[in-house]
Amino acid sequence: MRQLLNINRALPKKSLGQNFITDNNFLLKMNDHINSSKNNIIIEIGPGKGALTEYLSKKNFKKLFLIEKDINLAKQLRLKYKKLKNIFIINDDALTFDYSSFKNIKETVIIYGNLPFNISTKLLTKWISDNEWPSFFNKMVLMFQKEVADRIIASHNNKKYGRLSVLVQSRCNVKKILDAPASIFSPKPKVDGAVIQLKPIDKYSKINFNNLEKLLEESFSSRRKKIKNTLRKHKKSLAKLDIDENLRPENLSVSNYCDLVKLIN
């Protein structure tokens, strides 16, 4: 135990994108968005020093899984929660961790996380890209860089609307629930954050996610060009769906893109 870092004195590692939440007022606001039920399976991504974990651990839940890549922080969390039999600390990389064990279970699976900004979109894409939809989670409450959060929740006809907006909204209902100014973190990042709630939807469950990604890459390859140029090989499909080929990529709705994928397939 003497060889382990004291969890409160642990220095953030830039290589892991660590920014620890230190503002108790923000954590109290987050606490209002934590679901409490004996039927919940909770997964926290990147608990770090355990600031949010402290609030999660006091809620009702069946099991709480903490996925922490930092070996020293994982050891300290094990020491802190070793007497609680329904809290499990997993020393692993959330990007490569296998979440299949959470599929096909009766309990409600909720993911919480102050995601490292440098891997947040990769993590989100990993969780929503499963073509066997709906996925293993029932709800996610996640921290993103504010710029990324704005792109995720943007509607069509908005300059921030793009490939990421369509991909996420084809899988989930999204809404921003909290702003997270840079001042709540230590060390203080150069950008602000935002917390988004995501809930899976079935509306586009039959859409092949890989094909949707390819279509969006084509469409947004030059977002200032009209779709008669970026999607010219799909001209007949656009006509069948009565989509004006003089529109630009950001003018097409999530439904437009999903309908196109279905027709092209």
Kindly list the distances between the CA atom of residue 70 and the CA atoms of 39, 89, 234, in Å, as whole numbers in the listed order: 29, 11, 47
Tell me the CATH class for 209-264: mainly alpha
What does the domain layout of the chain look like in residue ranges?
14-200, 209-264
| Per-residue pLDDT tens digits for 76-99 | 999 999 999 999 999 999 999 999
CATH number of 14-200: 3.40.50.150
Q: Which residues contact 45 (CB under 8 A, 6 or more apart)?
A: 67, 94, 111, 112, 113, 114, 115, 123, 142
pTM for this one? 0.91
- SS3 for 88? strand
pLDDT interval class at 132 (50, 70, 90): confident
Please state the rounded mean pLDDT for residues 215-244.
95
pLDDT of the residue at 13: 47
